[in-house]
Chains A and B, each alone.
Chain A
Amino acid sequence: KNQVEQSPQSLIILEGKNCTLQCNYTVSPFSNLRWYKQDTGRGPVSLTIMTFSENTKSNGRYTATLDADTKQSSLHITASQLSDSASYICVVSKGGSYIPTFGRGTSLIVHP
């Protein structure tokens, strides 16, 4: 079964600190992996998209990595800000299908 597992389920950090969120998937054949940010009560917004050949992609203070061999991805947030408090969702697309598989998300809280 195609699955996307995210960890941790929730995370609390202090403003200015770094953090890393994890995503493991079993979706096959793999097409691409996206990280979305969802603020409370809002729709998710795409942060990065990575294909099979990409290992790292950055978007400002967000850096995503992909290891297609181990089927793992991470999202690293540098110098966290209060506005980073949100749910971060890993989404994996299967080759030949445009119905992606969503992870349950990691809830990040950044405290001042």
Chain B
Amino acid sequence: DGGITQSPKYLFRKEGQNVTLSCEQNLNHDAMYWYRQDPGQGLRLIYYSQIVNDFQKGDIAEGYSVSREKKESFPLTVTSAQKNPTAFYLCASSIAGGSSGNTIYFGEGSWLTVV
């Protein structure tokens, strides 16, 4: 089945550690995104990528890093510099090309908890 796969679903991190969330898509989409969702809050954009080897910061990029070495993969690293990383993280993708009429498809999300 085509879709977006995020892993792990649940992750616990000790303070001071970096963790990486995986996101893989087989939809042949050019654009990929990472969003953060806190309880009662809307989705906030962390990073997005239009094409391979290129990505841009979103609204809350501080403390996060990404890479886009392959079209299918867009991993997110939550670094120790992120002071409040406990949240629900959503990876998404869409057909790019400059059109704003493309639906964004989401993965099932990853829960990150700092212990």
A interface residues, Cβ below 8 angstroms from B:
31-32, 34, 41-46, 49, 51, 89, 91, 93-100, 102-105
Contact = CB atoms under 8 A, between A and B. Distances in A.
Interface of B: 4, 31, 40-43, 45, 48, 58, 88, 90, 92, 94, 96, 98-109, 111
Contacts of B90: 43-44
Q: Is the interface of B mostly helix, strand, loop or mixed?
A: loop
Contacts of A96: 98, 100
Contact of A44 (B48, B102, B106): B106
B41 to A, nearest CB: 6
Nearest to B111: A41
B104 A100 contact: yes
Contact of A46 (B4, B103, B111): B103
Contact of A102 (B42, B48, B107): B42
A51 B102 CA distance: 11
Contacts of B45: 99
Nearest to B94: A98
